Amino acid sequence: MARNLKLIDADGVDATDIRSLVASITKGCKSDQEKVIALWAYITRNPYYHWCEPREDPEATTEQGVVVDPITVFNVYGTIICYQVVDVLGTMAETAGIRARTRSVPGHMINEMYYDGTWHFFDAQHDCASYFTADDGKTIISLAELCKDAGKYIRNPKFPSKPHYRFDKYGGKFWPWESKEYVIKKFYPPRVGKRADVKTPYIARGHTIHLDLRRGETLVRRFTNEGKWYCPEHLAARWHRDLTQRWVPQGPHDPRNPTQTYANGELVYTPDWTASETNFTDGLYEGTGFVLENGAVRPKGRGKCEVVFRVQSPYLIAGRPGKLNVDGDSTDGAIFQAEFLRKSYAASNVVAVSTDNGITWTEVWRNKNRGQRTVRLDLTNHVEGTYGYLVKVTLAARNPQDATLSKLRMRTSLFLCPVPLPAVKPGKNRFTFSLGEGKGVMVICPDLGDRRTHPRFFCELKDLRYSANYVGHLSPVGQQGHAVIEVAPPPGTEVEWVGVHGSFGAVGGGPRSDSAEVLYRTEPKGKWTSVWKSDFSRRNQKWRWDDSFEFRLPRPAEKCYLKFLLTRRHRMSLNRVRIFAHTVRSGPGLKPGSVTVTHEWTEDGVDKTRTIRPDLKGQTYIINVKGRKVKNKSVTIEVANDP
């Protein structure tokens, strides 16, 4: 397997993880102010569009579901709206070591960054992108200073930011507040400077553009869309009621800039089990009681066998939506195809799907016919809106030759933002390819929003009660309670380090504040070690606190247990958890030339293509583009089957 594949523009921004993103954006900056301006500029100068803010999870209709992880926002959705962008920019600044806070003005939200002993105003929303420089031409002012004379700084600034306010260019065509005069009067009247709510940003980290490709698997990332996007019924209904989001049926895009839109890609997995057994074992997630013989899987003896295959992507899985007011009406987002043999009625072929790492399974097909047949299953409505799923095939027979699986093919459609993709442009282009053999990632997303099913994600729950109110999913019955999650990657894989994102409902501000702690151990009865404690000491006119952290195990372990310990003084609760388990696994290495990278684009209307077989140890290669008008079409990475 080609693990942790990475292909980036060597001279651009590396948006594959939060550290690389911030480091590449701020490279060469000599002061904290230069760093913040660079982070602000990445958002405001790139074609991220202002559309419905992305929302995920069962809490998608509430504030809890708004996506604020910068890597997810930039790579998957590409949408930026004010109460989302303040947390995105805040997370980026905090990652750079600069303290951030958010301020709520009437009808809008902005950031303030703390450096050089004071706070400084930054607004990174597309329409009203701005910061304001004092008369000395150097110092960026605060919100309070702006509100003293907003007209001076907004109408005709002496030292305008670049960009500086794009409201007026739209002439109020889409929203009534698209004018500087409206902003001066409504957003920044004098009284707002000191009264605006002060909030701690929701620090959300952990998502990475981690690409694993098996032998026989191809990843295609396009720069345009095929009309596949994810919009569940409850979000469609919510957005239809919002006049600013009235174009929902047309799919995610910026109506003022129609060329700024989402893109689609696909993962295609076609292993050749006949050519080499390695092609089978390389793609097997886990299995029991099976034999591979002549390119077909069958039970090892009388009885049954199970084989599980995983699809995992850093991009959202999405199909072609049908009726937006009807859930389960999407197609062509996840296609499973294989050849099955069922010789006798005593034999059985069954396919099941899981989107919670195998905790629960949904049967999607059971063979009712005898004989050999090719089966094509559309799994879209079982798996869309997630970042991965498992498919389990169960074969059973009295005679092991009576039930087989062969000629597997899986195709999964992806929803992504084209902006961070390694695109060619006029002139000299340098791209860097690398991979981290043996490095993998397992993402665990417990659903804490369901009263009935949430216990299935925990191996231990003690003194915690469930609340249907989204600001208090799991709260201590008394003063203290805890929940334990088992992190168990597939056999042959070990956990090396872990990233955790948690969202808490808490009252902070002193020694009597609510508190939370996360501990870990690698043995079921081992000693707990603390890896994170909450700091709710900041003033925060908000109920919610989000934080992310990482820790490395002393040595890789087959399992890791995480304990969330909650201490309630007022209203402490655990509302959302995301666990990113980074793993190591040994396996047969790829042969030289196994990986190919293909760029497709047009130069002055002429189709162009370039294919490279990069060095598996990592390589920087060059593509020279002579044309003036360049349109990128796709970037494809393919891992060949072993012969």
375 with 410, same domain? yes
Q: Which domain holds residue 354?
A: 225-254+261-416
| Residue at 98 is within a domain | yes
Q: Mind listing the pLDDT tens digit for each residue in 293-307?
A: 999 999 998 889 999
What is the sign, positive or negative, of the torsion defined by CA atoms of 276, 364, 290, 395? negative
470 with 371, same domain? no
312 with 360, same domain? yes
Q: How many domains does the chain have?
A: 3
Q: What is the CATH number of the domain that holds 576?
A: 2.60.120.260
267 with 317, same domain? yes
27 with 79, same domain? yes
CA-to-CA distance for 391 and 405, rounded, in angstroms? 13
pTM: 0.95
Partnered with residue 475 across adjacent β-strands are 465
Exposed/middle/buried for 473, CB within 10 Å: 0-12, 13-18, 19+? buried
pLDDT at site 50: 65
Contact between 286 and 297 (Cβ < 8 Å): no
132 with 97, same domain? yes
CA-to-CA distance for 412 and 408, rounded, in angstroms? 13
185 with 265, same domain? no
Sheet holding 108-115, edge to edge: 118-122, 108-115, 99-105, 197-199
- Cα dihedral 272→274→275→277 (10° resolution): 90
> Is it the case that residue 196 has pLDDT exceeding 70?
yes
| Residue at 633 is within a domain | no
Task: Please give the single-letter amino acid code of residue 104.
Answer: S
Neighbour tally for 120: CB within 10 Å: 24
Task: Please give the single-letter amino acid code of residue 209.
Answer: I
Of the candidates 547, 526, 435, the residue with the CA atom closest to the CA atom of residue 210: 435
570's CB contacts (< 8 A; 6+ apart) are: 506, 507, 513, 514
CA distances from 471 to 449, 467, 501, 543 (A): 10, 8, 16, 8
131's CB contacts (< 8 A; 6+ apart) are: 37, 40, 120, 121, 122, 123, 140, 161
> Is it the case that residue 401 has pLDDT exceeding 70?
yes
| Residue at 617 is within a domain | no
pLDDT at site 589: 82
Of the candidates 131, 155, 151, the residue with the CA atom closest to the CA atom of residue 143: 131
Tokens (6 digits) for 158: 């002496």
> Is it the case that residue 420 has pLDDT exceeding 70?
yes
Q: Mind listing the pLDDT tens digit for each residue in 117-134?
A: 999 999 999 888 999 999
Q: Mind listing the pLDDT tens digit for each residue in 7-63?
A: 999 999 999 999 999 999 999 999 999 999 999 999 999 988 766 788 887 777 777
137 with 240, same domain? no
45 with 194, same domain? yes
192 with 229, same domain? no
| Residue at 166 is within a domain | yes
375 with 466, same domain? no
481's CB contacts (< 8 A; 6+ apart) are: 462, 463, 464, 465, 474, 475, 565, 566, 568
Q: Where residue 327 falls among pLDDT bands split at 50, 70, 90?
A: confident
* Mean pLDDT across 620-639: 96
Q: Mind listing the pLDDT tens digit for each residue in 591-621?
A: 889 999 999 999 999 999 999 999 988 899 9
The 3-class secondary structure across 551-616, one letter per residue, is EEEEEEECCEEEEEEEECCCCCEEEEEEEEEEEEECCCCCCCCCEEEEEEEEECCEEEEEEECCCC
188 with 62, same domain? yes
> Which of 585, 603, 629 is a domain's end point?
585
> Is it the case that residue 435 has pLDDT exceeding 70?
yes
Q: What is the CATH number of the domain that holds 167?
A: 3.10.620
pLDDT at site 79: 85
How much is the mean pLDDT over the chain?
A: 92
